[in-house]
Amino acid sequence: MVQDLQGVTRKILLVDDEPSLQKMLTHALEREGFQIQVAGDGEAALEAFKSYEPHLIVLDIMLPKLDGTEVIRRIRAQSEVPVIMLTAKDDEIDRVVGLELGADDYVTKPFAVRELVARVRAIMRRAAVPAGQRPDELTYDRLRINLPSRRVSVDGTEVDLTYTEFELLVTLASSPGRVFSRSALLRRVWGDEFRDERTVDVHIRHLREKIERDPRNPEFIHTARGVGYVFR
């Protein structure tokens, strides 16, 4: 079993209404050492989320009883657990809405099982980085980032960030003045660069809305026109 630094087995909540896909993904993820709980609809997903307390959720957008976007909305109201969406190939609106609501990543159907497993492992790997490899705290003027507790405050007021927003902020803030291309941020934060670069833009916009006085005139996260982003 895959365990965190405290020896706790990493648990995944898999939410999809297709039995064949459930079986295939469960087998693949269990083979990688994860513990899996399956839910077949949106209501069951919310119940399982409360009782199972997963470290990560793989969530299909098209679900009976309660669709995936509403599931994300309700989960984000109480938790920052990482969420990977499963979306139809041509449903760009679903992907954008899911990211806007706080999903951390997405995989489009049909997909290779190894692709999803790689995404899962990338997120779990980021969560398991030993504390000694990072400073305990980053402080820039009004902004304070505490890495062990994953807490962020602005002017002394705590700000709620999703898992991926936090990782993105730490990546930028750990190298002030360095310009990161969107593809570089995809590699650093999401684990690969083979996806829509607008994923980065959506998360950057969310970050600015949470930590900047005026998101349209940011003081921390600046746009490097034509390239990517830089923390100043």
2 belongs to a structural domain: no
- Residue 200 within a domain: yes
**Domain boundary, last residue among 127, 150, 182:** 127
pLDDT band at 138; cut points 50, 70, 90: confident
Residues 102 and 159 in one domain: no
**What percentage of the chain has pLDDT greater than the value 90?**
49
Query: Could you tell me if residue 108 is inside a domain?
Result: yes
Give the pLDDT confidence of 193-226 residue by residue, as tens digits.
667 788 899 999 999 999 999 999 999 999 988 7
Instruction: Reply yes or no on whether the pLDDT at 184 is more than 70.
Output: yes
Residue 87 domain-assigned?
A: yes
What is the arithmetic mean of pLDDT over 18-41? Answer: 94
Last residue of a domain, one of 73, 97, 127: 127
Give the per-residue SS3 of the chain.
CCECCCCCECEEEEECCCHHHHHHHHHHHHHCCCEEEEECCHHHHHHHHHHHCCCEEEEECCCCCCCHHHHHHHHHCCCCCCEEEEEECCCHHHHHHHHHHCCCEEEEECCCHHHHHHHHHHHHHHHCCCHHHCCCEEEECCEEEECCCCEEEECCEEECCCHHHHHHHHHHHCCCCCEEEHHHHHHHHHCCCCCCCHHHHHHHHHHHHHHCCCCCCCCCEEEECCCEEEEC
> What pLDDT is recorded for position 149?
87
| Domain that residue 197 falls in | 137-231
Residue 68 and residue 156 in one domain:
no
Instruction: State the total domains in the chain.
Output: 2
Strand partners, 52: none
Where is pLDDT greater, at 134 or 73?
Answer: 73
Q: Are 25 and 16 a contacting pair, CB within 8 Å? A: yes
Residue 183 has pLDDT above 80, yes or no: yes
Q: What is the pTM of this model?
A: 0.66
Same domain, 118 and 165: no
CATH number of the domain to which 88 belongs? 3.40.50.2300
Q: What is the pLDDT, as a whole number, of residue 129? A: 52
CATH of the domain at 141: 1.10.10.10
